Structure 1
Amino acid sequence: MLPSRIFSPRSRRSMIRGARAYLRRRGSHPRWFQSLRMFYRLRMLVMLRMQQRIGAIVRRRDTELYVDGEEAFRRIDELLRGARHTIIIHMFIWVDDPTGRAVALRLVEAADRGVNVHVTKDTTGDMFELDRDFLTTKTHGKGIWQRFWHHPNIHVEAPEEQNHGKVYIIDGETMLLGGMNISDEYRYRWHDFLIELRGARFVEEYLSESPRTSQSDPVRLVMNSLHHSAVREAITALIHGARREIILEQAYFSDPGIVDLLAKRSHEGIHVRVILPLRTSVHHSANIVTMASLMEQGHDERMQIFQYPGMLHGKMILVDRVRAFIGSANLMTSSLDAMGEVNVLITGKNHSVVRRARETVRFDLLRSTPLQGPPQLRWVTRVLAYLGL
């Protein structure tokens, strides 16, 4: 909020006098240039009179939300092309398809420029790559893969850490995270989200696996790692802290604790809306059981379930339209408690990411079909759900 003295009679007279002088002025500079200079002078006057550091006022946006693969992979490609000295990629799934080879090509080009490239590909994700898996390209890959695996500036690790995160780090200053793996499905067909964080503090916090931001920070990393698990606690706190509304967009949802908590909150006056994909290749039966449980346990009017028409792979929680939680973590017990995950919690009604999240959720609700009642559960559905299928 601007201090009242900015609108004091003296300030008003000064601004009006300057504006009148400007309108009467004739000079060699074009009028558009004079207008621009006038704007910045007035802005500087406001900043000098405010009890706030100028750096905090003029700071560029440190976060950006990209929706779906066209936006996300365009930005990934741009950053890889512009990398100057370091690229770090941590990936769960990397498929040997046109998108996978296009990313490999950009990394080889960067390595040719002298950029150090470090890739960590979790082997747990190999089960989803089938006959187009990333690691086999080391011995049987053709074309760009031969250069990729033999380039002296590219280093690849394949640990068995069950790290479900998808992260790009460029030059130690820019970090991308979200739900998007590297494959054609994520680039062209599936609905998903990617977050860009700018600033070395995010990179340092992620690589050191140690939270450094305070609870009051408007942009905060929330991670599960080998040494620290914070995702379940953060999601639980978000749900408990809701005052009016909770909206979830999830690919895979089966954790009983979160189901019970959402049902409880709906009976406490909170409107809960859950968007799940109409059909998934895995975890489909578990999603159906979750939908039935939510509708049976939740409030009749304040619990709503929607089915998204395509494959929704994004993981987003929007609380009271002022807090957005986005990243790689699914609402599954293994994801919340055991797997490596990285999410970001962003707070602020007018924050650009929260505004974009609200727009995205609004559009997705319009596209989705509301369930009119709990789905009927057959015994085979219950068995498959128990197996996580």
Structure 2
Amino acid sequence: MTADNPAVQGECYTARSFMGSGEQIGQGMDRLVLAPAARRDAVLELLRSARQTITLSMFRCDDFTILDEVAAAVQRGVQVRILITQRARGWKKKLQELTLLLRSLGADVQPYQSSVMKYHAKYIVADDGPALVTSLNFTRKCFESTRDFLVFSEDPDVVNGLKMLFEHDCHTPTAPLSGITNRLIVAPDQARQRLTERLRYAQTSIGILDHRVTDPEILALLREKQSNGVPVKVIGDVRIDGLVAHGRMILIDGVTAIIGSIHLSPPSLDARREVALVIDQAPLVARLYDYFQTMAGNEANIMNLWPSGLPEEDEEDEEDE
């Protein structure tokens, strides 16, 4: 993250090339995958590693290699449990067909039952770890042509927290949520409060990659931080290096990253089940910071936080998410 880093200066590097050739980044409890070419194989590897259980939270899936791996897991005796949304724009029939297909493969499929909240969380747990928290859907589009993030974690608190969340959402989806590790940020129960606190206490910089930053309270806070001298950069709905905007990331002071399905929009913060992971492992945050800087170096990619430059709020906030 130094000034002479060519990735920060934007010389010779592009956002796509800075994703890497496909390696998993990090050697501690958490590992990161950025490159589109590596995403599918990383998810398949996680599914193949399971020997007893797979816990899978799903919004969309149209990639047959993932479905084939679910079938293979069942065939080798792995219990596969899937919690799936019942609401995705343009996918009503597809979700019904997907649910039937997954059940025919031998998976235990539970449609999310809350009539109030839309289900949008995206994660996988294999056995007692590792776990995956991601911003992508298990679709061909997200595996190949979007800006998205996959974080694999061996942290027992993260693994157990996701398992606890899964059981809660399968059996008592409308009940208050408690007892989840602080490494997980879960909407709508705690996301607004916790993300607002993180942004409010930022001292040196705020970087956001999110194409739906529309929440009035969040926007007011970002403008306040900017007016008080904290650099704030938001990269919104722009295509960069051929990759479509989809993933969500928040960087605070260059030392903390937050990655997951949560948008900084009213529906995502207040009315949807979402999950994000807090990352403070220095090598991963540094890589994410440098990746962000390759895009933020071009002023055309930065969203204007003042009213004339803001996107219109989408109350549904559902399209292609």
**By how many angstroms is 1:81 displaced?**
1.6
- Once the two structures are superposed, what CA deviation does each residue of 1:267-318 show, in whole Å capped at 9, x if it has no partner? 1111111101237xxxxxxxxxxxxxxxxxxxxxxxxxxx886421111111
**Runs of 5+ unmatched residues, structure 2:** 1-26, 166-177
**By how many angstroms is 1:388 displaced?**
5.3
Match of 1:172 in 2: 128
CA distance in 1, matches of 2:66, 2:228: 48
Match of 2:199 in 1: 239
- Opposite residue 133 of structure 2, the aligned amino acid is L
Q: State which of 282, 300, 321 in structure 1 corresponds to 2:254.
A: 321
Paired residues in the alignment total 276
- Once the two structures are superposed, what CA deviation does each residue of 1:350-371 show, in whole Å capped at 9, x if it has no partner? x222122112112222467246
Alignment of 1:70 onto 2:37: yes
Alignment of 1:119 onto 2:119: no
CA distance in 2, matches of 1:386, 1:114: 44
Contact 2:85 2:119 in 1 (8 A): yes
Work out which structure has the larger RCO, using CA pairs closer than 8 Å and 6 or more positions apart in sequence: 2
Contact 2:133 2:276 in 1 (8 A): yes
Q: State which of 356, 364, 382 in structure 1 corresponds to 2:287.
A: 356
Q: State which of 104, 121, 131 in structure 2 corresponds to 1:150.
A: 104
CA distance in 1, matches of 2:84, 2:303: 42
Matches within 5 A, 1:4-153: 61-95=28-62, 99=63, 101-125=64-88, 127-129=89-91, 133-137=94-98, 145=101, 148-151=102-105, 153=106
Backbone CA RMSD of aligned residues: 2.8
CA distance in 2, matches of 1:275, 1:346: 20
Match of 2:14 in 1: none
Report SS of the residue matched to 2:186.
strand
Of Structure 1 and Structure 2, which has the larger fraction of its residues in helix? 1
**By how many angstroms is 1:71 displaced?**
2.2
Matches within 5 A, 1:204-219: 204-209=160-165, 210-213=178-181
**By how many angstroms is 1:121 displaced?**
0.9
CA distance in 1, matches of 2:262, 2:192: 9
- Once the two structures are superposed, what CA deviation does each residue of 1:141-177 show, in whole Å capped at 9, x if it has no partner? xxxx4xx4334x4211112431211011101211101
**By how many angstroms is 1:65 displaced?**
1.5
Report SS of the residue matched to 1:134.
helix
CA distance in 2, matches of 1:113, 1:150: 16
Report SS of the residue matched to 2:269.
helix
Contact 1:63 1:195 in 2 (8 A): yes
Identity of aligned residues (%): 24
Report SS of the residue matched to 2:244.
coil
Alignment of 1:272 onto 2:228: no
Report SS of the residue matched to 1:270.
coil
CA distance in 2, matches of 1:106, 1:163: 23
**By how many angstroms is 1:241 displaced?**
1.1
Report SS of the residue matched to 1:106.
helix
Contact 1:250 1:331 in 2 (8 A): yes
**By how many angstroms is 1:221 displaced?**
1.4
CA distance in 2, matches of 1:374, 1:231: 21
Contact 2:234 2:303 in 1 (8 A): no
Larger Rg: 1
- Opposite residue 120 of structure 2, the aligned amino acid is H
TM-score (structure 2 length as normaliser): 0.77
Report SS of the residue matched to 1:329.
coil
- Opposite residue 199 of structure 2, the aligned amino acid is I
CA distance in 2, matches of 1:310, 1:61: 28
**By how many angstroms is 1:92 displaced?**
1.4
Contact 1:63 1:197 in 2 (8 A): yes
**By how many angstroms is 1:195 displaced?**
1.0
Distance 1:323 1:374, change over 3 A: closer
